[in-house]
Each structure stands twice: as C-alpha cells, then as structure tokens.
Homo-oligomer: A and B are copies of this chain.
C-alpha cells in the first residue's frame, strides 16, 4: 500500500465512485447518510491498517505525539462533557500508536504559542483567535475539530452541523409546530453557526419567515437565560431548538418555571446526545453528533499525515419525549 491512501483507493474500498467519495470527503454537497457512512468506514479502516502495518513507508515523518490544544478556559475542560468524550477517544487512538496525547488549554485571547510536540488537534478555535492564526502559519501539522473559522486555512474533521439543524427543523414542521425559536451557541464558532443556519434556512424554505434567536455559551445556565429572553420576546412560541443539550436542559428549566409544559406547549430539541439528554424530564429529543468518531478519524488522519480529506460525519435526530 502506498504512503497515503488515494481518493480512488478510499472510493474503491467504500464501493462508490471517486466522484461520490470526493463529494462526501469535501462535504460540498449533500450525500445520503448510508453512502457517507460507507465512505467513512473505508477511511477509518484504511487509516487503521496503515498505522498497524506501516512497513516500507520510509518517506513518512512519524508523528512523535499529539497535542490537543483546547481554545477554552481550563476549568471548562472538566465541566464540559464534550471535551471528555472527544479527548478520551483521541487518547485511545494515540495510545494504540504507542505515543502520547498531551492536552493544553489556551484562553480565547491568548497569542502565546505553547511548546508543542508533534502534531496538533485544535479544538474550539473561534474567528480571529490569535493563537489559531499563529498555528496556521507555523508549519506545525494541525487538524481542526470542526470546520475552521473562515479566516483559518486548516484541514479539519467535522460533523454535519448544518444537517443536524435541518433535521430538527423538519421534525418541528412534521409535528405541526408553527412558531419555532432557537438558542444558538457562540456565533464566532462555525459549528454553532452551522446548526442555526440548518434550522433557519430549512424553516424559511417551508415558509416560516421569522425565527427568534437568543444566544448562549453552551452551558445550562445560558440556556435558561436565553429561554427567559425568548419567552419575553416571542411569548407565542411552541418549539425551541437549542444548539447544545446542556442549553436545552437549562431551557426546559425556564419553561417549567414559566408554567409551559414540554412537549405539550413547547417542543424542545437539543444537540449533542450528551448523557444529560437521558436525564432531563421529559427525556430530550436531540441531534446526536458522533463526537468519539470524529475524534478518532481526526486523530488517525493526523497520525498518518494524511491531507486532502476533510471528513464531515453525519448527525442523526434521536427522538425521545421532549419533541
């Protein structure tokens, strides 16, 4: 097997045409979920084989380690379950390869480049993040988790956030909701924008002209606050989409306090399928994002030095009781 799998090899392994594989891997157009899964299974499988049997690949620079650079405040590393899922999955791949995962956090305003060993898995970079910009031009091998902000040119691995928002909108439309509001994440984060865009554009295409939006920072407290704002400014709402499960849980608290029943009065859909989604009352209908899978693929692509492939993994609506 050659140094890096070619697009043709990935396509052949997935049983699709190179053109289709290309569409999946660049995320440029919509492809069916099953086709997408086939292609990513092939990418994942081929990456795995190559790492376990790298015989003869002399020209390859072996990656001596991976540093996960989390663009967030250190205490959030422990309070945000997304990081635990992402880093545990990435760490398992790194350990399989006999090397180390190092984790460091950088504040959103910091431009001090930490001492880095090997390649970098960049997480949570927002627009104009000075450190992320520096990393882009540093010559260090980097892969971003999530589509990078438009000011950054970086390889990435993402989940289909836009399609997750679209699925939420379609579920609201199919269940007869008329007045949909949204709680967005930080607008400087592409993942947050994509979730909202998928929702709003799909509703607009269906003739819903206006979607009131309040913004949070992915925490439960911010979801509660945003929901209170929405209830004041759009008291007639009968559905709300939150860009994270924690914000959805916080929104449900605000709805309960306001005397609105979920889902009878207001349907709620979250995003993540985090553990909290099973523990809310009622259990949360949410868009599942494959956090572990995207971390696994991104880490394998980093370790193998593969470029030219920017996987976007499918998201999936999980229907429970809140919508």
Interchain CB contact under 8 A, A91 and B78:
no
Q: 1/0 per residue A282-319: CB within 8 Å of B?
A: 00000000000000000000000000000000000000
Q: With CB as the reference atom, state the residue of chain B lying closest to A94.
A: B74
Copies of this chain in the oligomer: 2
Within 8 A of B (CB), among A102-154: 102-107, 112, 114-115, 117-118
Interchain CB contact under 8 A, B83 and A100:
no
Give chain B nearest CB distance to A74 CB in angstroms: 4
Q: A102-B67, A102-B104 are in contact. Are A84 and B75 (CB under 8 A)?
A: yes
Q: Is A95 an interface residue (CB 8 A)?
A: yes
B contact residues around A91 at 8 Å (CB) = 74, 105
Q: A74-B91, A78-B78 are in contact. Are A115 and B114 (CB under 8 A)?
A: no
Interchain CB contact under 8 A, B114 and A102:
yes
Q: Is A101 an interface residue (CB 8 A)?
A: yes
Interchain CB contact under 8 A, B100 and A64:
no
Q: How many residues of A contact B (CB 8 A)?
A: 31
Give chain B nearest CB distance to A279 CB in angstroms: 15
B contact residues around A77 at 8 Å (CB) = 84, 87
Most buried by B among A65, A75, A99, A115: A115
Q: A65-B115, A95-B107 are in contact. Are A74 and B101 (CB under 8 A)?
A: yes
User: What are 27 A-B residue pairs whose CB atoms fall within 8 Å in the complex?
Assistant: A64-B115, A65-B114, A67-B102, A74-B88, A74-B95, A75-B88, A77-B84, A78-B78, A78-B81, A78-B84, A78-B88, A79-B84, A91-B105, A95-B107, A99-B112, A100-B106, A100-B112, A100-B114, A101-B104, A101-B105, A102-B102, A102-B103, A102-B104, A102-B115, A103-B103, A115-B117, A115-B118
